[in-house]
Amino acid sequence: MPGIGSSLPGGEIDARSRRFLIERFTLLRDDLAEQAAAGEVSDPQTKRELAIHDAVLAALSRDESFPKGNAAREYVAEVARAVDGASGYEQAAFEHRAFGELTARLDTVAAR
């Protein structure tokens, strides 16, 4: 997915991002586990998603290796898209860019 990936060398995750991701994936994993325990979901995909959550959380919180292969990356990209949609990311990014462009233009005019 374009735009998903680290801008830090070697794919490192900074401490603030790490804390956010641990919090987010813990909440998502707990919600999914609750649904599974209540019998709301019980398919193989749920088990796969729980395993991905566990592996990603272990890597983030205990510096274990991140899962290899595309399954975890695809799932994380899917979660990122859902979070972006729910939080209105595209609109917020557009507004931030628009205000930045306006500020830059005003800076140019003020400098004349």
Averaged over successive runs of 10 residues, the pLDDT of the chain (112 residues) comes to: 44 87 92 86 84 91 84 89 85 85 79 73
Residue type for 44, please? Answer: P
* Residue 77 lies inside a defined structural domain of this protein: no
Q: How far apart are CA 51 and CA 69, in angstroms?
A: 14
Q: How far apart are CA 60 and CA 22, in angstroms?
A: 7
CA-wise closest residue to 45 among 17, 83, 75: 75
* Residue 27 lies inside a defined structural domain of this protein: yes
pLDDT of the residue at 8: 44
* Residue 109 lies inside a defined structural domain of this protein: no
* Residue 79 lies inside a defined structural domain of this protein: no
* Residue 84 lies inside a defined structural domain of this protein: no
pLDDT of the residue at 26: 94
* Residue 94 lies inside a defined structural domain of this protein: no
* Residue 80 lies inside a defined structural domain of this protein: no
Give the domain range for residue 25.
Answer: 9-68
Domain count along the chain: 1
Q: Which residues, in sequence order, are CB contacts of 29 under 8 Å at separation 6+?
A: 50, 53, 54, 57
pLDDT of the residue at 65: 84
* Residue 41 lies inside a defined structural domain of this protein: yes
pLDDT of the residue at 7: 46
CA-wise closest residue to 56 among 40, 42, 39, 77: 77
Q: How far apart are CA 31 and CA 28, in angstroms?
A: 5
Q: How far apart are CA 49 and CA 19, in angstroms?
A: 20
pTM metric for this prediction: 0.69
